[in-house]
Amino acid sequence: MVRAPNHVAHPRRPPAPPTRAAHPRRPPAPPTRAAQPRRPTASPNRVAQPRRPTAPPNRAAQPRRPTAPPARGCARRPPSRAPAGAPHTSGHVQDVDECAVRTAPTHAPRAPHPPPAYRRGVTDAVFPPGFFDRADPSPDTDFYGPPRLVTHIDDRAIAAVGALYAELGLDGEVLDLCSSWISHFTTPPRRLVGLGMNEAELAANPLLAAHVVHDLNTDPSLPFDDGSFDDATCCVSVDYLVEPVAVLREVARVLRPGGRFVVTFSNRCFPTKAIRGWLASDDETHLQIVNAFFALSEGFGQVTGALRTPPGTPGDPLYAVWAAAL
Ligand SMILES: C[S@@+](CC[C@H](N)C(=O)[O-])C[C@H]1O[C@@H](n2cnc3c(N)ncnc32)[C@H](O)[C@@H]1O
């Protein structure tokens, strides 16, 4: 197995933060469950089918750049700094050694899909300007054009992902967002559907029953019906999303009520494609950032965040943030 030769390390020192502090300006408000009207619940027998064929986004309109050389890999980020005085956001993120599984909230009402402009406004009010910018703003279809049949985290971190999926019992119909050739389940779920950027990587994934190539940064909507999945996952990829709150809102839509969305990440990334706010912040802040994405989406209940590898040990750390759809 090839170990991420192209996953360029995070620079030893994070790049200069955006002109304003790279963390939420104020704590995200918890989802206002009581105020949200309930959305119709999907038929439990519905199969997760792509709603429409996936087309390469805006190919004609966007000039194609030469393919990025695949050897610009993920660099390891500096070790997590102590969150000196950085409070956890609104108490939503648990202590980093918290490993408890949260049960799905009893069914609070689901919110209707909001107008995108409103959503963007809420996100902009929380994160500083430039937070979602990237060093390489060219179409993701260029960067992710060449298949990368590599692993992006070490074996221990991969095992931690699989162990969490098993602990949470992700065994039904599962959507793997930002998927590639490997999905880290120790026991395959009943039906796994992958969404990612590279057809060859997805086709090589032995666990996927179906897959779709779809650029979430040009279209954060998911090509699936409401309530199509029992659970969803996104491994070491949330830092590449320029509209993560819109994507999480969509994940909540395609999940059945109570379905978990499990976001995992480490301290490696493709730095030119990661959002600046992520590069400029440490591991502890990443937990809070992802927590804020969940809260701002208003589609999930209580959020749990945890370091899933033993603290202070060598190797890639594996963090997870998860919550159940309302
Ligand atoms: C570091 S890899 C992780 C792959 C896989 N989840 C894993 O655990 O090995 C990042 C993945 O994010 C996906 N990705 C990046 N940008 C994306 C976008 N705009 N839309 C959808 N997927 C994207 C890529 O296809 C790539 O497979």
Q: What is the pLDDT of residues 271-285, one digit of tens each?
A: 999 999 999 999 999
> Using one digit for the tens of pLDDT, what is the confidence trace for 219-245?
999 999 999 999 999 999 999 999 999
Closest-CA residue, ligand 1 atom 13, reads 178
Do residues 29 and 122 make contact, with C-beta atoms less than 8 angstroms apart?
A: no
Amino acid 119: pLDDT: 54
Alpha helices in the chain (DSSP H): 116-126, 140-143, 155-168, 199-203, 244-254, 276-279, 283-297
Expressed in angstroms and rounded, the spacing between residue 40 Cα and the centre of ligand 1 is 31
In this predicted model, which residue has the larger pLDDT, 24 or 235?
235
| Contacts of 55 by beta carbon, 8 Å cutoff, 6+ apart | none
In a domain, 49, yes or no: no
Helix (H, G, I), strand (E, B) or coil at 122: helix
> Which atom of ligand 1 is found nearest the CA of 182?
9
Check which CATH number belongs to the domain holding 180 and give it: 3.40.50.150
Q: Does the beta carbon of 231 sit less than 6 angstroms from any atom of ligand 1?
A: no
> Which atom of ligand 1 is found nearest the CA of 140?
19
pLDDT grade for 121, boundaries at 50, 70 and 90: low
In a domain, 287, yes or no: yes
Q: What length does the chain have?
A: 326
In a domain, 39, yes or no: no
Do residues 275 and 134 make contact, with C-beta atoms less than 8 angstroms apart?
A: yes
Domain with 266 in it: 90-324
In a domain, 164, yes or no: yes
Expressed in angstroms and rounded, the spacing between residue 80 Cα and the centre of ligand 1 is 23
In a domain, 46, yes or no: no
> Using one digit for the tens of pLDDT, what is the confidence trace for 282-310?
999 999 999 999 999 999 999 999 999 99
- Average pLDDT (168-180) is 98
Q: Does the beta carbon of 217 sit less than 6 angstroms from any atom of ligand 1?
A: yes
Burial of 59-92, coded b for 16+ CB within 10 Å and e otherwise, reads: eeeeeeeeebebebbbbbbeebeeeeeeebbbeb
E strand spans, the chain: 6-8, 73-76, 173-177, 191-196, 208-213, 231-235, 260-265, 268-269, 304-307, 319-324
pLDDT grade for 117, boundaries at 50, 70 and 90: low
In a domain, 299, yes or no: yes
- Which residue, chain included where needed, has tokens 């666990």? 207
> Which atom of ligand 1 is found nearest the CA of 269?
1
Q: Which two tokens stand for residue 187?
A: 């026991």
In a domain, 177, yes or no: yes
- Average pLDDT (67-95) is 33
In a domain, 25, yes or no: no
- For strands 260-265 and 208-213, give the pairing: unpaired
Amino acid 54: pLDDT: 31
pLDDT-wise least confident of 75-79, 130-134, 167-171 = 75-79
Q: How many domains does the chain have?
A: 1
Top mutation candidate among 77, 181, 237 for ligand 1, by most atoms within 8 Å of CB: 237
Expressed in angstroms and rounded, the spacing between residue 48 Cα and the centre of ligand 1 is 20
> Which atom of ligand 1 is found nearest the CA of 148?
27
Q: Does the beta carbon of 178 sit less than 6 angstroms from any atom of ligand 1?
A: yes
* Whole-prediction pTM: 0.72
